[in-house]
Every structure is written in structure tokens, then in C-alpha cells.
Structure 1
Amino acid sequence: MVTVNVGLLHYVLDHIYGACVHRTKLSTPFFSRGWGGAKLDHLETMIKQLFPDFAAQNWPPAVIQPNWTTVWETKTACLKEGVFRTPCDEQLLEALPPESHNARVAFLAPKFVSPHKMACVVHLAGTGDHTFERRLRLGGPLLKENIATMVLESPFYGQRRPSLQRGSKLLCVSDLLLLGRVTIDEARSLLYWLDSDAGFGKTGVCGLSMGGVHAAMVGSLHPTPVATLPFLSPHSAAVAFCEGILKHGTAWNALKEDGASLTLEEVRERMRSVLSLTDVTRFPIPKSPEAVIFVGATDDGYIPKHSVLQFQKAWPGSEVRWVTGGHVSSFLLHNDEFRRAIVDALNRLQWKDSSL
């Protein structure tokens, strides 16, 4: 009788998928045009502003007014898509490619239910998630729980992708920081819109992988309690690109050449240093840490378990749940667990007083 190590199979699946997507010559690597020069230095300064004091200095965020179009509606639900000018400041706007200046969202909500009796969760994109469909499928079954879904298309993705970029392979390291910073600004403005203009009784933010890192940052900086749900997420992008499978899809030689006198070893250290700006354990603890639920995978080839645990340790009162699988298999097979975490986190929040 042959004993099969299921965990090993999930881990191997991650590496097979990673080899196909990141290690063939048919695929462009991440950061093939290097660091991003002066733009990277500028962005490093701006990203540092996201740390503790920034939370109080930048609220309320820039007001947005999406222009809505109805995609479809049934007797019980409605899907709309909205477009709005990204609310980031002029310095960030100048750094963004023109294709990313307008943000796009999909908004799936129950009909005939008062918003103050509903919750809404903003779903942020993981690496390679260019469309609304996967996140709408994740959120769709939650309609019966009176939970609406807001899906944000990230800058550099989907219709916001620069013309020279192939797929999700960002051209420069600075693009990764810019994507994250703008996503956070846009998500914060969406949460403010849901709270103030739409009047939802509870709100949350979730994301898978890279989207989970951004969701954690948004939840951390929100001035009132919000459900925060990082799924299959590291505590820092440095983990994904320097330890996980994505290190095999990174253009280290291009970064070395762009770094003048750096050795390859020094290039990796600089990458760790730059991406340490995305270390969410340095961000403030969310206002309701009990409404933070991490979901990690037991055999994840992209995100090591120690990174998930480090995340949870930094935010006492938060919860970690584990699903059996790797990054890819969990992404495909465990949507019910992600939905259960969303429901449970929202249930740990108090309803807003609609009379205020």
C-alpha cells in the first residue's frame, strides 16, 4: 500500500504552477525594467507616510462619486459597475500610467434591503486578478446573508494596465509600491463612501495574497471598526518575492544591471529593504482586532506559515484559520472557508446607529 502525502502534493502543485507561469522563457519576469530610478526613491518616501501618524492625518480621504451603470438585475439582486477618478494626490497621479488614472469597481448588492441593515465588503485584487469575475463569485453567495460585494480593479491591472506591460508582470519595482499605495487610497475612499454616502451598517475589506496585504493595510488605517480579512497573505511583499515561488519569476539580472555596482547578493538585500515598506506588522493594530481573521494554507509554496503567524502575533486578538492545501489549490477549493471567515468577522462588529 502506497501512502500519499497530500500536503506535499499541494506544495508540489504550487511549484509546478509557478514553473509554468514564472520560470519559462515564454513569460516575461517581474521588474524586467529594473528598480524605477528616481520614482522609486520618491515612492519610498511616500510609502513611509502610511505608518502610524498617517492614519490620523489623512481622514476623511478624498471624496469620490462613482458614475454607475447597471450591468444586470434580478428580483433580488443588482450588479453595477462604477468609474471614478482615482483620489490619490497629484504627485501619485503623475507617477501613475495614464491608463490607471480612472478606477473601476463592480458593486453587487441585494435589492429591497435598507443599506443600514446590510454589510458590504471591499474585495482587493491578488497578483494576476485582472477582472471582477472571481471576486464576484466569491461574494455572490453572501447576498443571502445581506452582505454586498464591492470589487476594485487595481491600477496596473485589467483595463488599467499600461500598454507596455505583459499580463501582471510589473515592469519596475516602483510599480509594485505605486500599485499598493494607490490601491490603499482608493479602498479607503470606497469604505468612506460606503459608510457616509451609502450608509451601510457594517463594512469590511478582504483580499487574497497581494490583495490580503493591501486589505490588512486598509483595515489597519481605518479610524473605525472594520472587518479585515487577509487570505493566503504574507505579512510583507518581501516574503513573496524573496522567499516564495515568485523569487523565481523576478528579473534579478535586470535589477543587478540597473543597480550599477551591486552584486546579485546585494540586489536581493536591496529588494528586501525596499519591500520592507510593505511590512504590515509595522502598521497600527486595527480598531477591532477581534474582527481580523487570517486564513492561511497548510502547504503554501508562495506564502510560508511563519509569515502568517508573524502577522497574527503583531495584532493580538486576531484569529488565524488554516485550510488544507497549497496556494493554488486553496484559491480554487476553499471559497466556502473564505466566505465563512467574512461572515464571522462581520458578526463581531456592532451595527452602526442609523439614527445618527
Structure 2
Amino acid sequence: MVSANLGVFYYVLDHIYATFLHRTKLSTPFFSRGWGGSKLDLLERMAKQLFPQAAAQSWPPNLVQPIWKTVWETKDACLREGIFRTPCDEELINALPPESHNARVAFLAPKFVPPQKMACVVHLAGTGDHTFERRLRLGGPLLKQNIATMVLESPFYGHRRPRLQCGAKLLCVSDLLLLGRATIDESRSLLHWLEVEAGFGKTGICGLSMGGVHAAMVGSLHPTPIATLPFLAPHSAVVAFCEGVFKYATAWEALREDAAQKTGMTLEQVRERLRSVLSLTDVTRFPIPKNPQAVIFVAATDDGYIPKHSVLELQRAWPGSEVRWVTGGHVSSFLLHNDAFRKAIVDALNMLEWRES
């Protein structure tokens, strides 16, 4: 009975948090400027190259050469920040806001350990994660196990946020797909840099919530086995915006008015169109990663944002992968279960063979 009551508490906590953050009028809702016009058309065309026939993607990706500066160092570790031009195709770069053209990363690594004897995991941002700090705190304790952390600042976030955007509330539906596609391209290029240029012996990709969806996509696309760690993540953005609490933070009327200029759509038709567009992010349509045993999902038992069926749907699509459950909701697990996330990172990396130097 206590456990059941606690589960209800966690679930309600998610909805209280969501009500305060999304149902009040304290901030602009998602997609207040509509669908994105020609940008959305472009992304739907480009999606055919990535979803679902992702295995045919060219490799290696466009090279990146970050320009590094040291933030701090101790006798055992060093934190550097780097900046590089996004490696996306020019057509995609032209669709991105100018503020997102340059990418930023933080790179926390042990000192005096040969890269071929180390692992490095790229950490991707969840919704609203504009800074490096939270992900550096997650990865920091792993230094003792010779696991480095690379944190990517997402397009549309942090220093890359467009001037007119309020917080994490993307202005157009096309921005969500642009954010995802650019994050995938940048992550793939960073992994290639870590493996080929830096010479790390093992690599991985992880992310929480939205970042977990992107991590799953990147892990699926990588041509060699890597650790893939989606945390508190759905199998598709449809779940978050059409079923979860983000549906209360979406500017449905703005989307209807934008669509009505051409088609006179009803609100129900608008919801169906958004569902159709966001189905492009369905990771179950992606190829199975090269080593599914190195895929570990961490999900919450009472998540008010991500229903259990969504996590299990992707796990079933990738036989051999593992789901681990932590007690709590989306918000509480985000705050309280970093140790479980770290253990999953270590265990997934242990499923990989060391690369030959």
C-alpha cells in the first residue's frame, strides 16, 4: 500500500510540476508561430533520408575540429570547452537560426590516461537543459573509472537559442525537427572525432528525455557498436506532445490558424497532423544498433511524462536491449537517480570490446 501511494505521489508530482510550468500563462507555449512553412516541408523531405532508412546514411560524417580552451584543471582531470561549425549539410544550416550555426561542447576527461584505455560518452540535452552543468555533474564521478564526458549544447538552446525564443519553447514545429536532425549530425561527428582523432577505446551516447530519444537515434545509426543509453525517454516525440503533459503546453490554436490559411483544418485535424509529423521521430523505425546488449534504457515506474508502454515498445523493437526501472516519476527520477544512470553507463560500456589501437 505504501509503495502504491508513493507511486501516486510521484505521478501527481509530475503533473503539478507540469501544471505550474506548462498550463499557466507564465511563458509562451510551444509552436506559437505555427508549423514553420517551407522549413517543415524541407525537413519532411530530408526525413526520408534519415527515417527509417537510416542504415544507408553515408559514413564517415563531416569532420569537426573543435577549437578548445581550458576551463579548469586539477592534477587528475581537465575540463575544456570547444566550439565548432555545425557539420550539417548547407541546406540544413540555412534552415537553422544563425545563433545555432556554431556548436559548443564541454569535455571532461582524466589526465595522464592513454585515450585507448579510456571510454567517452556524449551526453545530449533534455528539454530545457540549456547549460553543461547538470550533465557534467552526472558524468563527473565516472572519471574515477576512466570514463570521460562530452556534453553537447543543443541547437536552439543556451548560446545557440534564437533571439526571439523564450526558454525551451520552440517557436515552430519545424524547429523541433531541426533541433533533432542537427543534434544527430553533430553527435555522429563528435563520436567520429572521439574514435578517429582522439583515439578513445570505447564510446557511448546518452541523454535524458528528449536527449534520450536523440541518443537512441544516434546509437542506431552508428556503424560500429557503442553504448547507447536513453534515460526517461519515449520511443517518439508523439508521446510527449500528443499524449503527455506537453500537449497542455502546445499552441494548438496558433497551429490551427497557421494551417487554416490553406486548408481550414479543425483542431482535431491539427492534432492528427502534428501526430503524423512527429511520427518521423519514431525510433522503432530505425535499425537495431550493432550491439543491442550495449543498449540500456532507464525508465521510471510512475512517469507522468513518459508512459511505460512507450519505453517497452522500443525495447521490443531492439531485442537484446535492457530496460531498468527506477522508482519515481519523471521529475523525481531526474533529481534522485543519477547513481542508476551512472551504473547503466558503466554496464553498457562493459558490454563493448576495446577498439584496436
Q: TM-score, normalised by structure 2?
A: 0.98
CA distance in 1, matches of 2:4, 2:347: 34
Asked if 1 retains the 8 angstrom alpha-carbon contact of 2:50 and 2:57, the reply is no
1:10-25 equivalences in 2 (<5 Å):
10-25=10-25
The alpha carbon displacement at 1:177 in A equals 0.2
Structure-2 separation of matches of 1:314 and 1:55: 16
Partner residue, 1:107:
107
Q: Whole-Å Cα distance in 2 between the matches of residues 305 and 274 of structure 1?
A: 23
Letter in 2 for 1:177: L
Distance 2:314 2:133 in 1: 28
* Deviation (angstroms), 1:57: 3.3
Contact 2:121-2:203 at 8 Å conserved across structures? yes
1:52-91 correspondence to structure 2 within 5 Å = 53-91=53-91
Counterpart contact for 2:80–2:108, Cα < 8 Å: yes
Letter in 2 for 1:55: A
Q: CA deviation at 1:259?
A: 1.0
Aligned counterparts of 1:318 and 1:4: Cα–Cα separation in 2? 28
Match of 2:317 among 309, 314, 320: 314
Does residue 234 (structure 1) correspond to residue 222 (structure 2)? The answer is no
Task: Determine the C-alpha separation between the residues in 1 that align with 2:182 and 2:340.
Answer: 29
Tell me the equivalent position of 2:218.
218
What are the equivalent positions in structure 2 for 1:167-178 lying under 5 Å apart? 167-178=167-178
Does 2:340 align with 1:341? no
Measure, in 2, the Cα distance between the counterparts of 1:26 and 1:338.
Answer: 32
Aligned residue number for residue 190 of structure 1: 190
1:128 partner letter? G
Per the alignment, residue 152 of structure 2 pairs with 152
Shift of 1:41: 1.1
**Paired AA for residue 317 in structure 2:** A
SS in 1 for 2:50: coil
Shift of 1:58: 1.6
List alignment gaps of at least 5 residues for structure 1: none
Residue 143 (1) aligns with residue 146 (2): no
Deviation track 1:219-243 (CA, whole Å, cap 9, x = no partner) reads 0000000000000000000000001
* Corresponding position of 2:38: 38
* Counterpart-to-counterpart distance in 2, 1:241 and 1:69: 38
Displacement over 4 Å in runs of 4+: 1-4
Deviation at 1:45, TM superposition (A): 1.0
Change (3 A) 1:2 1:179: closer
Equivalent position amino acid for 1:263 in 2: T
1:164 is aligned to 2:167: no
State the one-letter code of the partner of 2:324. Answer: R
Q: Percent identity?
A: 81
The alignment's TM-score, normalised by the length of structure 1, stands at 0.98
Measure, in 1, the Cα distance between the counterparts of 2:315 and 2:2. 37
Mapped partners of 1:100, 1:47: distance in 2: 20
Aligned mate of 1:302, from 291, 294, 305: 305
Letter in 2 for 1:108: L
The answer as to whether partners of 2:54 and 2:287 remain within 8 angstroms in 1 is: no
Please provide the CA RMSD for this pair. Answer: 1.2
Gaps of 5+ in 2: none
Residue 292 of structure 2 corresponds to residue 289 of structure 1: yes
Taking a change above 3 Å as real, the CA distance of residues 94 and 3 of structure 1, as seen in their structure-2 partners, is: closer
8 Å contact from structure 1 (residues 51, 284) kept in 2: no
Size of the alignment, in residue pairs? 354
Q: How far did 1:53 drift?
A: 4.0
The 1:3/1:45 distance shift into structure 2, 3 A limit, reads closer
Q: Distance in 1 between matches of 2:355 and 2:302?
A: 39
Paired residue secondary structure (1:162): coil
